């Protein structure tokens, strides 16, 4: 399993993203990012030496091939979001801007998060089979091979989404739902406190320099304090990385991936 990333880019103003209700410091904002991937399909064509490869016409892949290409060597469960012209460039299909989504953002590190463009609805798009229903959902969760798929409309509640995310943690990871999630959520407050103290010390150091006291005893104490805070933050980040690491139960396919889910919520 590839190392769990720290969490990919969301957008937001100073102090947070549009999907969090609390202003957060820079370290917490870094942790509260979803590591989205934006795959494009490139077909490998065998070419004899000295010949030019012909560009193959775009075509839809079979379901097993599509899931295999998207998953690659990553065996984390999939979180696949289909962008539309309305929500393009946002995470609105996954989260509600009017609510706090920190739990969602933290849990996303244990999923292989993929965004596909609006064009995925075109019948010749390589990954069209993943959203081939007459009224396709906006996103789905599944194992890496496409099995145990659950579709969502993009209008799901936080509790519905959290319940599904947690169910995959239980089914796919050996530790299941342990205290890792709560620990990481609590760690955000520690990051904010450390970032605030670091900025305060740096501001006081700037005042010393501007006042011509760069070599004062107070400046030396501030430098020592800054070093201690930076060490504390580095240790906290190391804790976050350690807790984020989870061992998967199994990497073998459960069953052949289906083009459509057997059941699940569908939407427009």
- 22-55 tens-digit pLDDT: 899 999 999 999 999 999 998 877 666 666 666 6
The answer to whether residue 181 is domain-embedded is no
The number of domains in the chain is 2
What is the model's pTM? 0.82
* pLDDT score for 51: 67
- Same domain? 219 vs 260: no
- Same domain? 145 vs 204: no
> Are 211 and 43 spatial neighbours (Cβ–Cβ below 8 Å)?
no
- Same domain? 83 vs 210: no
Domain of residue 155, residue span: 1-43+53-175+250-268
Exposed/middle/buried for 90, CB within 10 Å: 0-12, 13-18, 19+? middle
Q: How confident is the model at residue 260 (pLDDT cuts 50, 70, 90)?
A: very low
Tell me: the pLDDT tens digits for 62-94?
999 999 999 999 999 999 999 988 887 889 999
* pLDDT score for 21: 87
- Same domain? 130 vs 258: yes
> Are 128 and 60 spatial neighbours (Cβ–Cβ below 8 Å)?
yes
- Same domain? 214 vs 258: no
- Same domain? 237 vs 155: no
- Same domain? 90 vs 202: no
The answer to whether residue 182 is domain-embedded is no
Say if residue 265's pLDDT is above 70.
no
């Amino acid at each position: 399993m590839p190392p769990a990333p720290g969490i990919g880019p969301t957008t937001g103003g100073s102090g947070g993203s549009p999907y969090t209700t609390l202003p957060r410091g820079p370290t917490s904002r870094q942790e509260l990012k979803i590591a989205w991937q934006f795959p494009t399909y490139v077909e490998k064509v065998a070419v004899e030496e000295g010949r030019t490869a012909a560009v193959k016409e775009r075509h839809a892949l079979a379901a097993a091939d599509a899931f295999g290409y998207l998953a690659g060597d990553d065996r984390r469960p999939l979180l696949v979001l289909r962008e539309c012209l309305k929500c393009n460039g946002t995470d609105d299909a996954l989260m509600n801007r009017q609510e706090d989504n920190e739990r969602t953002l933290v849990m996303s590190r244990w999923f292989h998060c993929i965004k596909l463009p609006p064009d995925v609805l075109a019948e010749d798009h390589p990954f069209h089979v993943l959203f081939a229903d007459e009224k396709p959902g906006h996103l789905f969760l599944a194992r890496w091979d496409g099995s145990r798929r659950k579709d969502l409309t993009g209008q799901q509640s936080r509790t519905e989404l959290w319940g599904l995310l947690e169910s995959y943690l239980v089914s796919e990871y050996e530790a299941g739902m342990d205290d890792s999630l709560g620990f990481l959520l609590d760690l955000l407050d520690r990051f904010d406190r450390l970032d605030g103290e670091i900025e305060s010390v740096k501001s006081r150091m700037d005042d010393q320099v501007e006042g011509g006291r760069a070599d004062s005893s107070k400046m030396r104490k501030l430098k020592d304090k800054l070093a201690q805070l930076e060490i504390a933050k580095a240790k906290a980040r190391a804790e976050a990385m350690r807790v984020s690491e989870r061992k998967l139960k199994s990497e073998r396919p459960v069953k052949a991936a289906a083009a459509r889910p057997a059941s699940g919520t569908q939407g427009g």
